[in-house]
A and B are shown apart, each in its own frame.
Chain A
Amino acid sequence: MDGASSADDRKNGAFETLRSVHAAQRHLLRLVPNVRTATGGGSPLERLERDMELPHVIDAEGAEDATLRARPVPGAPVPAFRAFLDGTQRSQLLGWIGSLPLVYGTSGAVIRERIERRLVTWHTPLVEHRIYAPLAYAPREELEGALGAQLEDTTKPGPDGTIPAPHPTLLLERATLAVSRDRERLELSLAESWCASRPDDPIMIDGGIGSSEAVASSACAVGVVKSHRTLYAKGEALNVVLALSRGERSSVIRIAPRARSEVLSWYLRLRATDGRDALWGLVRVEMRMIDSPGITARADEISRWLLAESSPLAAPDPRWDRMAYGIRSAEEFLRATTN
């Protein structure tokens, strides 16, 4: 057996041992001393209360109109998306070494391609099972020996070189964030594959598209952001966004968050807000940067595509007012295959 094969075998073996949280616990108990395992399988850490980014508003530069305004989307809704991309993650407390938490994380991403009105999985979905451990405080060698590439350090130094304190809650939060980053990495990997191989087939991506230059500059990628902790409108512009009626969009703006590629974006109201809060049925759309003359037509076109996706409903998902059925299908697929 050559070295490469042996490494592959170890990698595959490690992957197999992490197929479930219980398998991972058994593996660690066998190979790493002083591990205590959590009982009861563990609730997803994503449900735990933690400090989240506070909702806030940001001013954004207009790309279509000098002042942000409401624009009715002309024409009838037209379905044009050929695929839907989404990812999921799940973090569970695996056990402890001393008081240091070990987290078992599963992240995955899938593209559901629409063929003759039915959704099927495009290529191979990406799924990872990893252990997230505070290696600055835990026995690094034993853990690396037992887990190899399936191990992720939750105590990597920050930009200022400081190592996070060994506070259990902080370490759990950092583990969850690390799982989230892995999920995003898998999503981007799939998105890049699609954009490279199917550049003419529009794909709806759940979330923003700016974290990958290749995706952010692709003509086929359309990001749909459902959460609005950050609203890219201030003052009167914010009022315009929140007052959008069904089938109306805002003017296109240019956004460039930190460490992300610049994209064009606009708000679109998918459903009437009768009796609902101001964010009901409101999504923010992202597309690649294009020259000014074509912005309006392209934004209208993509808005028509999105409005066409308002049926069938993504219920019973609680976000069904903003979620396309194709995105729900991707989530359901991952839930069925990774749990």
Chain B
Amino acid sequence: MTAPLGLVVATERTPNTPHQFQFWTAIDSPVGIGTIVRVDGRQPVDGHIPHVYGVVTEGFSYTDLASPLFDVLGHDGDPGQAAFAPTERAEVRLYVAAVLRHVPEEPLQPVPMGEVFLATEADVAVALRMDTYLRDGASTGIPIGLYRSGGMDSAIYLDAEFLVGPEAAHLNITGVSGLATKTSAVEWLMASLFAHFPKSKGSVAAVCFNVKGPDLCFLDQPAELEENDRAMYETLGVPCAPFPDVRYFAPYKADNVSLNTLRSNEELSANVQPLTWGLREVLQFAEVLLNRDDVDAKADALIDFIKERVLDRDFEDRVLKQKHRVRSFADLEGWFRDLLSGLEDQGSEHWRTHHVATIRKVRNRLSNISTRCAGLVTNDGHTSDLPWGDFTDRAVYVVDVALAEEDAQDLIFARIVSKLREHLERRDLGVTHVVVFVDELNKYAPADGPDTYVRKMLLDIAERGRYLGLVLFSAQQFRSQVHRRVVGNAGTALYGRMDGDELATPGYAVLSAATRTKLATLSKGQLMVRHPHFTQPIFVSFPRPAVMRGRDGMERFPQAADVPLDVGVLRQLRRFEPTLTLAWVQDVIGLYEEEDVLRALHATLAHAPEKAGAYFKAQFRKIVGAAPAPAVARTPLRALPDDDPYAI
């Protein structure tokens, strides 16, 4: 039988309660903050010996010294003499533990006096109630990491039903920047989720918004891992490999030919697609981009009119000189120009209840969008989008908005989340669950500041997403500065190393001083986990993600330099037909305007034909080369008299 680690103690001043107890241990016992222990009671209750499981939340150490002065006197004021003292003072290690679970659970009594043991692997499972969801054949456990204590490693599992829904959902991670904990933890957890999410619960994919640097740009590239990381992968039953199915989406740069992403190296271009939207897509989310102080109800009414009555249909009006079919920003501009010109000609200030000033304002604001979101919004109405309706199980869709302008970021986020929601509601996305990962919640869902469309979207996911299978994995540096309902609705919370100031905020008051201290000193690869099944926070270690780190990726696959149009076209086409040459491209596009070339390119990319070259070439109108006109002999109406050169 295992020797006890400690003994429960209680005094009148510091009694044990049903939720907390104290115990002492030998000086050299392997107990620390976060250690899980088991107390075996001495007296049976209702015929059962009570077992209480707890996690150490505080520790004390003191000696029989009544006053520091006695120590000074004992060493004649010379600290160096302490080493020569023949005896070390009696010293106690006293720990406070928070109760994780009582077995049996009723009657709920104060923790009894008893022996304290280091929790075994089986004890850890019982203590954290993992036994309720790790049943053979019906396990919904998702490994989050290893609990380590006394030389023993225990796998800690989250319950998929409380991570992805429907019981609870969402995950939030907090930690200081620069330790790669937040991104690493999410990458690791996604790998774990993909490996362990039960087939019986449906399918799952992830949509990750890469909002800064190259963090998520190399999820399909392997990392160099150390042996202990590989061992953790093996213990936790997660393949030690990069994600096999990752697709990248990024808007164009302003040149509309180079993708605006740090993953622009030609070697990696096979699974990078442009993200471009036309007027129809943008207009649905116009309010994301329009300043609410500027666009009033009248403007809103006109925008709604355009969306419902003008867009994508033949539109005629007595004020207009011609029939319009508006499909792109260019068409819309033409429609506005015709409308305003007609009103001017008629000397009218109103059109269908809309004042001409409102019409001018809306024209100005909408036209401005294609400029503000250049690269994302196309003038020609071309769309390149996520594969709505065709999402694949265990696939990762990375939307790289790190280099995009803020307006474009907001638009991308709002539209993609809305589309996910729409498709999940209709059950036609292709998967039944989608994890949406958003970093920098301090920016996108701040506790204070204006009520932006993006924040509303995040709140909506957090509060209602779990019923749809739309799950938010979010991260930020300062949890206290994120909207309370966003973090509050996260069933699972992870904490990496924390900033001292952040820990001093009221949200962390429920943690003991020792736990807060541990949080402030966590090393890479360590997390504190809160999960609905765990009645107290638990510390775990997790392996380094098996995917290449962003900065390693940037060294290995440097960003491509900006290129001229012909080279950009070649790069895009080569994804489908690698034999194409620059000379061929130059020959094909030489006669055409940039606008035509881009339209042909976008059409080719949209159809992704096998013979991309031929398809691309076929998009151009036949242009006949200019030839000098033959000289025409002209006959005068009447001949001039030879001697009258002035025809008088």
The answer, among A81, A309, A315, for a CB contact under 8 Å with B66, is A315
Could you tell me if A311 and B88 are in contact, using CB atoms closer than 8 angstroms?
no
Q: Which residues 265-324 in A have Cβ within 8 Å of B in the complex? A: 308-313, 315-316, 320
Give the one of A119, A310, A325 with max B CB within 10 A: A325
Could you tell me if B87 and A118 are in contact, using CB atoms closer than 8 angstroms?
yes
Could you tell me if B87 and A326 are in contact, using CB atoms closer than 8 angstroms?
yes
Cα distance, A311 to B86, chains bound together (Å): 7
Cα distance, A304 to B85, chains bound together (Å): 13
Whether a CB of chain B sits under 8 angstroms from the CB of A167 is no
Q: What are 10 residue pairs bridging A and B, where the CB atoms are less than 8 Å apart in the complex? A: A117-B87, A117-B88, A118-B87, A309-B86, A310-B74, A311-B81, A311-B84, A313-B70, A315-B65, A325-B89
The answer, among B81, B84, B87, for a CB contact under 8 Å with A325, is B87
Could you tell me if A332 and B64 are in contact, using CB atoms closer than 8 angstroms?
yes
Could you tell me if A312 and B85 are in contact, using CB atoms closer than 8 angstroms?
yes
Q: B residues engaging A (CB < 8 A)? A: 27, 64-67, 70-71, 73-75, 81, 84-90
Cα distance, A320 to B65, chains bound together (Å): 12
Contacts of A311 in B (CB 8 A): 74-75, 81, 84-86
Could you tell me if B70 and A315 are in contact, using CB atoms closer than 8 angstroms?
yes
Contacts of A117 in B (CB 8 A): 85-88
Contacts of B67 in A (CB 8 A): 315-316
Q: How far is the CB of A324 from chain B (nearest CB, A)?
A: 8
Could you tell me if B87 and A119 are in contact, using CB atoms closer than 8 angstroms?
yes
Which of under 10, 10 to 19, 20 to 34, or 35 or more describes the interface residues of A? Answer: 10 to 19
Could you tell me if A313 and B74 are in contact, using CB atoms closer than 8 angstroms?
yes
The answer, among B66, B70, B71, B88, for a CB contact under 8 Å with A118, is B88
Q: What residue of chain B has the Cβ atom nearest to residue A76's Cβ?
A: B84
Cα distance, A138 to B88, chains bound together (Å): 50
Q: How far is the CB of B61 from chain A (nearest CB, A)?
A: 14
Could you tell me if A329 and B90 are in contact, using CB atoms closer than 8 angstroms?
yes
Whether a CB of chain B sits under 8 angstroms from the CB of A114 is yes
Give the one of A311, A320, A325, A329 with max B CB within 10 A: A311
The answer, among B65, B66, B87, for a CB contact under 8 Å with A114, is B87
Could you tell me if A312 and B74 are in contact, using CB atoms closer than 8 angstroms?
yes
Could you tell me if A313 and B90 are in contact, using CB atoms closer than 8 angstroms?
no
Give the one of B66, B85, B86, B88 with max A CB within 10 A: B86
Query: What string of 1s and 0s marks CB contacts (under 8 Å) between A113-124 and chain B?
Result: 010011100000
Contacts of A332 in B (CB 8 A): 64, 90
Minimum-distance CB pairs A-B, first 3: A79-B86, A313-B74, A316-B66
Q: What residue of chain B has the Cβ atom nearest to residue A324's Cβ?
A: B87
Cα distance, A320 to B71, chains bound together (Å): 12
The answer, among B64, B86, B89, for a CB contact under 8 Å with A308, is B86
Could you tell me if A313 and B87 are in contact, using CB atoms closer than 8 angstroms?
no
The answer, among A312, A316, A320, for a CB contact under 8 Å with B87, is A312
Q: A119-B90, A315-B73 are in contact. List 20 more A-B contacts (CB 8 A).
A: A79-B86, A79-B87, A81-B86, A114-B87, A117-B85, A117-B86, A118-B27, A311-B74, A312-B70, A312-B75, A312-B89, A313-B71, A313-B73, A313-B74, A315-B65, A316-B67, A325-B87, A326-B87, A329-B90, A332-B90
Q: What residue of chain A has the Cβ atom nearest to residue B73's Cβ?
A: A313
Cα distance, A117 to B34, chains bound together (Å): 30
Cα distance, A285 to B66, chains bound together (Å): 28
Contacts of B86 in A (CB 8 A): 79, 81, 114, 117, 308-309, 311
Interface of B is mostly: loop
Contacts of B74 in A (CB 8 A): 310-313, 315
Query: What string of 1s and 0s marks CB contacts (under 8 Å) between A147-164 and chain B?
Result: 000000000000000000
Q: How far is the CB of A337 from chain B (nearest CB, A)?
A: 13
Contacts of B73 in A (CB 8 A): 313, 315
Give the one of A117, A311, A312, A313 with max B CB within 10 A: A312
Contacts of B81 in A (CB 8 A): 311
Q: How far is the CB of B73 from chain A (nearest CB, A)?
A: 6
Cα distance, A309 to B27, chains bound together (Å): 23
Q: How far is the CB of A58 from chain B (nearest CB, A)?
A: 33
Contacts of A326 in B (CB 8 A): 87
Q: Which residues 59-107 in A have Cβ within 8 Å of B in the complex? A: 79, 81
Q: How far is the CB of B24 from chain A (nearest CB, A)?
A: 12
Cα distance, A95 to B185, chains bound together (Å): 71
Contacts of A118 in B (CB 8 A): 27, 87-88
Contacts of A310 in B (CB 8 A): 74
Cα distance, A119 to B88, chains bound together (Å): 8
Q: How far is the CB of A272 from chain B (nearest CB, A)?
A: 10
Could you tell me if B71 and A312 are in contact, using CB atoms closer than 8 angstroms?
yes
Contacts of A312 in B (CB 8 A): 65, 70-71, 74-75, 85, 87, 89
Contacts of B71 in A (CB 8 A): 312-313
Contacts of B85 in A (CB 8 A): 117, 311-312
Q: What residue of chain A has the Cβ atom nearest to residue B81's Cβ?
A: A311
Could you tell me if A316 and B70 are in contact, using CB atoms closer than 8 angstroms?
yes
Cα distance, A188 to B96, chains bound together (Å): 41
Contacts of A320 in B (CB 8 A): 70
Q: What residue of chain A has the Cβ atom nearest to residue B85's Cβ?
A: A311
Contacts of A119 in B (CB 8 A): 87, 90
Q: How far is the CB of B224 from chain A (nearest CB, A)?
A: 44
Q: What residue of chain B has the Cβ atom nearest to residue A310's Cβ?
A: B74
Q: How far is the CB of A243 from chain B (nearest CB, A)?
A: 22
Cα distance, A312 to B84, chains bound together (Å): 10
Q: How far is the CB of A174 from chain B (nearest CB, A)?
A: 35
Give the one of B27, B64, B65, B73 with max A CB within 10 A: B64
Give the one of A81, A315, A326, A329 with max B CB within 10 A: A315
Contacts of A315 in B (CB 8 A): 65-67, 70, 73-74
Give the one of B73, B84, B87 with max A CB within 10 A: B87
Contacts of B66 in A (CB 8 A): 315-316
Cα distance, A224 to B64, chains bound together (Å): 23
Cα distance, A312 to B65, chains bound together (Å): 10
Q: How far is the CB of A210 from chain B (nearest CB, A)?
A: 26
Contacts of B84 in A (CB 8 A): 311
Cα distance, A117 to B81, chains bound together (Å): 15
Q: What residue of chain B has the Cβ atom nearest to residue A312's Cβ?
A: B74
Q: How far is the CB of B304 from chain A (nearest CB, A)?
A: 82
Q: What residue of chain A has the Cβ atom nearest to residue B86's Cβ?
A: A79
Q: What residue of chain B has the Cβ atom nearest to residue A80's Cβ?
A: B86
Q: How far is the CB of B82 from chain A (nearest CB, A)?
A: 8
Q: Which residues 114-145 in A have Cβ within 8 Å of B in the complex? A: 114, 117-119
Q: What residue of chain B has the Cβ atom nearest to residue A84's Cβ?
A: B87
Cα distance, A23 to B74, chains bound together (Å): 42
Query: What string of 1s and 0s marks CB contacts (under 8 Å) between A33-61 and chain B?
Result: 00000000000000000000000000000
Cα distance, A329 to B64, chains bound together (Å): 9
Q: What residue of chain A has the Cβ atom nearest to residue B64's Cβ?
A: A332
Cα distance, A79 to B414, chains bound together (Å): 77
Contacts of B65 in A (CB 8 A): 312, 315
Cα distance, A310 to B75, chains bound together (Å): 9
Q: What residue of chain B has the Cβ atom nearest to residue A114's Cβ?
A: B87
Q: How far is the CB of B333 from chain A (nearest CB, A)?
A: 87
Cα distance, A315 to B65, chains bound together (Å): 7
